Protein backbone atom coordinates (compact mmCIF):
# COMPACT_ATOMS: atom_id res chain seq x y z
CA UNK A 1 0.00 0.00 0.00
CA UNK A 2 1.56 3.26 -1.10
CA UNK A 3 0.99 6.59 0.64
CA UNK A 4 2.11 9.72 -1.22
CA UNK A 5 1.41 13.32 -0.19
CA UNK A 6 -0.68 12.08 2.76
CA UNK A 7 -2.99 10.01 0.53
CA UNK A 8 -3.32 6.31 -0.20
CA UNK A 9 -2.63 6.14 -3.92
CA UNK A 10 -5.02 3.24 -4.50
CA UNK A 11 -7.83 4.39 -2.20
CA UNK A 12 -8.18 8.11 -2.79
CA UNK A 13 -11.86 8.83 -3.56
CA UNK A 14 -11.96 12.60 -3.38
CA UNK A 15 -11.87 15.35 -0.80
CA UNK A 16 -14.84 15.64 1.54
CA UNK A 17 -16.54 19.01 1.93
CA UNK A 18 -16.29 18.50 5.71
CA UNK A 19 -12.57 19.04 6.35
CA UNK A 20 -10.80 21.21 8.91
CA UNK A 21 -7.45 22.94 8.87
CA UNK A 22 -4.04 21.34 8.41
CA UNK A 23 -2.81 19.33 11.40
CA UNK A 24 0.67 18.33 12.60
CA UNK A 25 1.96 14.78 12.08
CA UNK A 26 -0.65 12.45 13.62
CA UNK A 27 -0.12 11.00 17.09
CA UNK A 28 -3.07 8.57 17.14
CA UNK A 29 -5.23 6.33 14.98
CA UNK A 30 -8.86 6.22 16.14
CA UNK A 31 -11.09 3.26 15.24
CA UNK A 32 -14.84 3.77 14.72
CA UNK A 33 -17.83 1.90 13.42
CA UNK A 34 -20.33 3.56 11.08
CA UNK A 35 -23.43 2.20 12.91
CA UNK A 36 -24.82 1.50 9.46
CA UNK A 37 -24.97 -1.01 6.67
CA UNK A 38 -23.64 0.28 3.37
CA UNK A 39 -20.08 1.59 3.60
CA UNK A 40 -20.48 3.55 0.36
CA UNK A 41 -23.53 5.26 1.84
CA UNK A 42 -21.54 6.28 4.91
CA UNK A 43 -18.77 7.51 2.62
CA UNK A 44 -21.20 9.62 0.59
CA UNK A 45 -22.74 11.10 3.73
CA UNK A 46 -19.33 12.12 5.06
CA UNK A 47 -18.50 13.69 1.71
CA UNK A 48 -21.27 16.26 2.26
CA UNK A 49 -20.67 19.68 3.75
CA UNK A 50 -21.88 20.38 7.32
CA UNK A 51 -24.79 22.46 5.97
CA UNK A 52 -25.75 19.72 3.50
CA UNK A 53 -25.84 17.22 6.37
CA UNK A 54 -27.89 19.68 8.40
CA UNK A 55 -30.45 19.94 5.60
CA UNK A 56 -30.59 16.17 5.07
CA UNK A 57 -31.16 15.48 8.77
CA UNK A 58 -33.38 18.49 9.47
CA UNK A 59 -30.97 19.54 12.22
CA UNK A 60 -30.94 22.97 13.86
CA UNK A 61 -27.21 23.46 13.31
CA UNK A 62 -24.59 22.34 10.79
CA UNK A 63 -23.57 18.71 11.32
CA UNK A 64 -19.86 17.88 11.37
CA UNK A 65 -18.99 14.26 10.60
CA UNK A 66 -16.11 12.97 8.51
CA UNK A 67 -13.18 10.56 8.70
CA UNK A 68 -10.02 9.96 6.77
CA UNK A 69 -10.84 6.38 5.74
CA UNK A 70 -13.99 4.29 5.27
CA UNK A 71 -13.72 0.49 5.14
CA UNK A 72 -16.52 -1.80 3.95
CA UNK A 73 -17.36 -5.32 5.03
CA UNK A 74 -15.50 -6.89 2.11
CA UNK A 75 -12.47 -4.65 2.65
CA UNK A 76 -13.40 -2.02 0.08
CA UNK A 77 -11.71 1.23 1.09
CA UNK A 78 -12.03 4.93 0.36
CA UNK A 79 -10.00 7.89 1.61
CA UNK A 80 -11.93 11.17 1.72
CA UNK A 81 -9.67 13.41 3.87
CA UNK A 82 -5.89 13.83 3.45
CA UNK A 83 -4.00 12.60 6.51
CA UNK A 84 -2.46 16.03 7.11
CA UNK A 85 -5.89 17.67 7.48
CA UNK A 86 -8.43 17.47 10.29
CA UNK A 87 -11.41 15.16 9.89
CA UNK A 88 -14.43 15.52 12.22
CA UNK A 89 -14.57 12.01 13.70
CA UNK A 90 -13.61 12.19 17.39
CA UNK A 91 -15.67 15.09 18.77
CA UNK A 92 -15.22 15.86 22.45
CA UNK A 93 -12.34 13.58 23.37
CA UNK A 94 -9.19 13.18 25.45
CA UNK A 95 -6.37 10.66 25.77
CA UNK A 96 -3.12 10.69 27.75
CA UNK A 97 -3.11 14.40 28.47
CA UNK A 98 -4.36 15.55 25.05
CA UNK A 99 -7.83 16.90 24.25
CA UNK A 100 -9.76 17.26 20.98
CA UNK A 101 -8.14 14.35 19.21
CA UNK A 102 -9.39 15.53 15.83
CA UNK A 103 -6.31 17.76 15.88
CA UNK A 104 -3.89 14.85 16.38
CA UNK A 105 -5.38 11.74 14.83
CA UNK A 106 -6.38 9.73 11.79
CA UNK A 107 -9.95 8.44 11.91
CA UNK A 108 -10.95 5.10 10.36
CA UNK A 109 -14.68 4.38 9.96
CA UNK A 110 -15.50 0.68 9.63
CA UNK A 111 -18.88 -0.46 8.31
CA UNK A 112 -20.69 -2.22 11.17
CA UNK A 113 -24.09 -1.85 12.81
CA UNK A 114 -22.71 -1.96 16.35
CA UNK A 115 -24.91 -2.77 19.33
CA UNK A 116 -28.13 -4.75 18.89
CA UNK A 117 -31.02 -5.67 21.20
CA UNK A 118 -32.33 -9.19 21.61
CA UNK A 119 -35.80 -9.54 20.08
CA UNK A 120 -38.68 -11.85 21.13
CA UNK A 121 -37.85 -14.22 18.25
CA UNK A 122 -34.33 -14.72 19.65
CA UNK A 123 -32.62 -12.67 16.97
CA UNK A 124 -30.80 -9.35 17.44
CA UNK A 125 -31.50 -5.96 15.86
CA UNK A 126 -32.42 -2.33 16.40
CA UNK A 127 -35.95 -2.38 14.96
CA UNK A 128 -36.35 -0.03 12.04
CA UNK A 129 -32.60 0.60 11.88
CA UNK A 130 -30.85 -2.70 11.22
CA UNK A 131 -31.47 -6.15 9.73
CA UNK A 132 -32.04 -9.04 12.10
CA UNK A 133 -28.96 -11.05 13.05
CA UNK A 134 -28.91 -14.66 14.20
CA UNK A 135 -26.86 -15.69 17.22
CA UNK A 136 -24.15 -17.01 14.88
CA UNK A 137 -23.67 -13.51 13.42
CA UNK A 138 -23.12 -11.66 16.67
CA UNK A 139 -21.30 -11.83 19.97
CA UNK A 140 -22.96 -10.98 23.27
CA UNK A 141 -20.97 -8.64 25.47
CA UNK A 142 -21.35 -5.63 27.74
CA UNK A 143 -22.01 -2.11 26.56
CA UNK A 144 -18.82 -0.04 27.04
CA UNK A 145 -19.04 2.56 29.78
CA UNK A 146 -20.92 2.65 33.02
CA UNK A 147 -24.14 0.77 32.18
CA UNK A 148 -22.45 -2.60 31.36
CA UNK A 149 -25.75 -3.75 29.84
CA UNK A 150 -25.49 -6.89 27.73
CA UNK A 151 -26.00 -6.32 24.00
CA UNK A 152 -25.48 -8.19 20.78
CA UNK A 153 -22.67 -6.91 18.55
CA UNK A 154 -22.30 -7.56 14.83
CA UNK A 155 -19.17 -9.60 14.10
CA UNK A 156 -16.63 -7.91 11.85
CA UNK A 157 -15.88 -10.01 8.73
CA UNK A 158 -12.38 -11.39 8.40
CA UNK A 159 -11.73 -9.63 5.07
CA UNK A 160 -12.61 -6.31 6.67
CA UNK A 161 -10.33 -6.80 9.66
CA UNK A 162 -7.45 -7.91 7.46
CA UNK A 163 -7.83 -4.73 5.43
CA UNK A 164 -7.88 -2.59 8.58
CA UNK A 165 -4.66 -4.33 9.60
CA UNK A 166 -3.03 -3.54 6.26
CA UNK A 167 -4.12 0.10 6.40
CA UNK A 168 -2.92 0.47 9.98
CA UNK A 169 0.47 -1.07 9.19
CA UNK A 170 0.93 1.27 6.24
CA UNK A 171 0.07 4.28 8.42
CA UNK A 172 2.51 3.19 11.13
CA UNK A 173 5.24 2.80 8.53
CA UNK A 174 4.57 6.21 6.99
CA UNK A 175 4.03 8.16 10.23
CA UNK A 176 6.56 7.36 12.99
CA UNK A 177 4.82 10.12 14.96
CA UNK A 178 1.90 7.74 15.74
CA UNK A 179 2.16 6.67 19.37
CA UNK A 180 -1.15 4.91 20.01
CA UNK A 181 -4.12 3.19 18.39
CA UNK A 182 -7.37 3.77 20.27
CA UNK A 183 -11.09 3.19 20.06
CA UNK A 184 -13.65 5.99 19.98
CA UNK A 185 -15.07 4.52 23.18
CA UNK A 186 -11.65 4.99 24.85
CA UNK A 187 -11.36 8.69 24.09
CA UNK A 188 -15.06 9.55 24.62
CA UNK A 189 -16.15 7.14 27.37
CA UNK A 190 -19.88 6.87 28.19
CA UNK A 191 -20.60 9.02 25.12
CA UNK A 192 -19.47 6.68 22.33
CA UNK A 193 -19.51 2.88 22.13
CA UNK A 194 -17.60 2.18 18.93
CA UNK A 195 -16.05 0.10 17.60
CA UNK A 196 -17.43 -2.09 20.40
CA UNK A 197 -16.35 -5.43 21.91
CA UNK A 198 -16.65 -7.36 18.63
CA UNK A 199 -13.72 -5.39 17.19
CA UNK A 200 -10.38 -7.21 17.74
CA UNK A 201 -8.58 -4.22 19.18
CA UNK A 202 -5.61 -6.09 20.64
CA UNK A 203 -4.95 -7.68 17.25
CA UNK A 204 -4.72 -4.21 15.69
CA UNK A 205 -2.74 -2.69 18.56
CA UNK A 206 -0.21 -5.50 18.36
CA UNK A 207 1.07 -3.83 15.18
CA UNK A 208 2.16 -0.87 17.29
CA UNK A 209 3.76 -3.14 19.89
CA UNK A 210 5.71 -4.90 17.14
CA UNK A 211 7.00 -1.59 15.84
CA UNK A 212 8.14 -0.62 19.32
CA UNK A 213 9.87 -3.96 19.84
CA UNK A 214 11.78 -3.43 16.58
CA UNK A 215 12.75 0.09 17.65
CA UNK A 216 11.37 1.57 14.44
CA UNK A 217 10.14 4.70 16.21
CA UNK A 218 13.31 5.47 18.18
CA UNK A 219 15.51 6.79 15.39
CA UNK A 220 15.41 10.42 16.51
CA UNK A 221 16.60 12.31 19.56
CA UNK A 222 12.98 12.76 20.65
CA UNK A 223 11.22 9.37 20.38
CA UNK A 224 7.65 9.49 19.09
CA UNK A 225 6.44 7.69 22.23
CA UNK A 226 8.03 10.06 24.77
CA UNK A 227 5.85 10.82 27.80
CA UNK A 228 6.14 12.74 31.06
CA UNK A 229 4.53 12.08 34.42
CA UNK A 230 1.91 14.66 35.37
CA UNK A 231 2.20 14.15 39.14
CA UNK A 232 4.23 12.19 41.66
CA UNK A 233 3.69 8.64 40.43
CA UNK A 234 4.44 5.18 41.82
CA UNK A 235 6.21 2.76 39.50
CA UNK A 236 5.55 -0.91 40.18
CA UNK A 237 6.73 -4.37 39.34
CA UNK A 238 3.52 -5.28 37.51
CA UNK A 239 0.36 -3.88 35.93
CA UNK A 240 -1.74 -3.21 39.02
CA UNK A 241 -1.70 -1.68 42.49
CA UNK A 242 -1.22 -5.14 43.98
CA UNK A 243 2.36 -5.23 42.70
CA UNK A 244 5.24 -3.89 44.76
CA UNK A 245 6.57 -0.37 44.37
CA UNK A 246 10.07 -0.41 42.91
CA UNK A 247 13.04 0.97 44.81
CA UNK A 248 13.22 4.14 42.69
CA UNK A 249 9.52 4.85 43.25
CA UNK A 250 7.87 7.34 43.31
CA UNK A 251 8.70 9.22 40.13
CA UNK A 252 8.58 13.02 40.46
CA UNK A 253 6.39 15.13 38.14
CA UNK A 254 7.81 15.69 34.63
CA UNK A 255 9.84 12.48 34.67
CA UNK A 256 10.57 11.58 31.06
CA UNK A 257 9.89 8.02 29.99
CA UNK A 258 9.10 5.91 26.95
CA UNK A 259 6.32 3.33 26.72
CA UNK A 260 7.47 -0.17 25.80
CA UNK A 261 4.18 -2.04 26.16
CA UNK A 262 0.70 -1.66 27.60
CA UNK A 263 -1.79 -3.78 29.51
CA UNK A 264 -5.28 -2.40 30.11
CA UNK A 265 -4.81 0.96 31.91
CA UNK A 266 -1.12 0.38 32.70
CA UNK A 267 2.08 0.99 30.72
CA UNK A 268 5.45 -0.72 30.97
CA UNK A 269 7.95 2.13 30.71
CA UNK A 270 11.69 2.90 30.58
CA UNK A 271 13.04 6.05 32.21
CA UNK A 272 14.85 8.26 29.70
CA UNK A 273 17.50 9.60 32.09
CA UNK A 274 18.15 6.22 33.74
CA UNK A 275 17.31 3.68 31.00
CA UNK A 276 18.28 0.74 33.21
CA UNK A 277 15.11 1.52 35.24
CA UNK A 278 11.86 0.04 33.94
CA UNK A 279 8.48 -0.71 35.48
CA UNK A 280 4.72 -0.29 35.31
CA UNK A 281 2.81 2.99 35.78
CA UNK A 282 -0.85 3.98 35.61
CA UNK A 283 -1.73 5.59 32.26
CA UNK A 284 -3.97 8.28 33.74
CA UNK A 285 -0.95 10.17 35.04
CA UNK A 286 1.03 10.24 31.79
CA UNK A 287 1.01 12.94 29.14
CA UNK A 288 2.66 13.12 25.76
CA UNK A 289 5.83 15.20 25.89
- Which residue from 226, 281, 219, 222 is spatially nearest to 256, judged by alpha carbons? 226
Is the confidence at residue 219, as pLDDT, over 50? Answer: no
- CATH at residue 272: 2.30.30.40
Domain that residue 28 falls in: 3-112+156-214
For residues 163 and 238, membership in a common domain is answered with no
At 216, is the pLDDT very low, low, confident or very high (cuts 50, 70, 90)? low
Q: How distant is the alpha carbon of residue 132 from its chain centre?
A: 28
What was the pLDDT predicted at 75? Answer: 98
For residues 44 and 71, membership in a common domain is answered with yes
What was the pLDDT predicted at 226? Answer: 85
What was the pLDDT predicted at 99? Answer: 86
Whether 136 maps to a domain, the answer reads no
Whether 150 maps to a domain, the answer reads no
Whether 134 maps to a domain, the answer reads no
At 220, is the pLDDT very low, low, confident or very high (cuts 50, 70, 90)? very low
- CATH at residue 177: 3.40.80.10
What is the per-residue pLDDT across 121-151, written as a single tens digit (0 to 9) for each?
Answer: 999 999 999 999 999 999 999 998 777 899 9
Residue 136 to residues 124, 130, 154, 182, Cα–Cα distance (Å): 10, 16, 10, 27
* Domain count of the fold of the chain: 2
Domain boundary among 168, 183, 214: 214
Cβ-in-10-Å burial (0-12, 13-18, 19+) of 146 comes to exposed
Does this model's pTM top 0.85? no
Is 266 in contact with 209 (CB distance < 8 Å)?
A: no
Is the confidence at residue 221, as pLDDT, over 60? Answer: no
CA 148 – CA 193 distance, rounded (Å): 11
What was the pLDDT predicted at 269? Answer: 87
Average pLDDT over residues 163-181: 94
What is the per-residue pLDDT across 161-171, written as a single tens digit (0 to 9) for each?
Answer: 999 999 999 99
**Residue 222 DSSP SS3:** coil
For residues 160 and 284, membership in a common domain is answered with no
Number of CB atoms found within 10 A of residue 116's CB: 22
Contacts of residue 27, defined as CB under 8 A and 6 or more positions apart, other chains included, come to 98, 104, 105, 177, 178, 179, 180, 224, 288
What was the pLDDT predicted at 217? Answer: 56
Whether 105 maps to a domain, the answer reads yes
Average pLDDT in the chain: 92
Contacts of residue 205, defined as CB under 8 A and 6 or more positions apart, other chains included, come to 181, 262
Whether 20 maps to a domain, the answer reads yes
pLDDT cut 90: percent of the chain above it: 73
- Which residue from 153, 224, 211 is spatially nearest to 185, judged by alpha carbons? 153
Average pLDDT over residues 11-27: 94
Is 110 in contact with 163 (CB distance < 8 Å)?
A: no
For residues 80 and 188, membership in a common domain is answered with yes
Amino acid sequence: MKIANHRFVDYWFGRSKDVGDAIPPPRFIVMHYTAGGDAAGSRDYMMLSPTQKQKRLGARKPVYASAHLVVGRKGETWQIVPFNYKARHAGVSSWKGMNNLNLYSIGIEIANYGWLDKQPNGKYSRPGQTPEFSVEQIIVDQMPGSSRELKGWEIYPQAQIEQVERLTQALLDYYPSIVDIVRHQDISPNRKFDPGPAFPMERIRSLLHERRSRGDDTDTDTPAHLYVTTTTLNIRGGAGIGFEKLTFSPLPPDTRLTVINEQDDWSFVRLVDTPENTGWVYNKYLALA
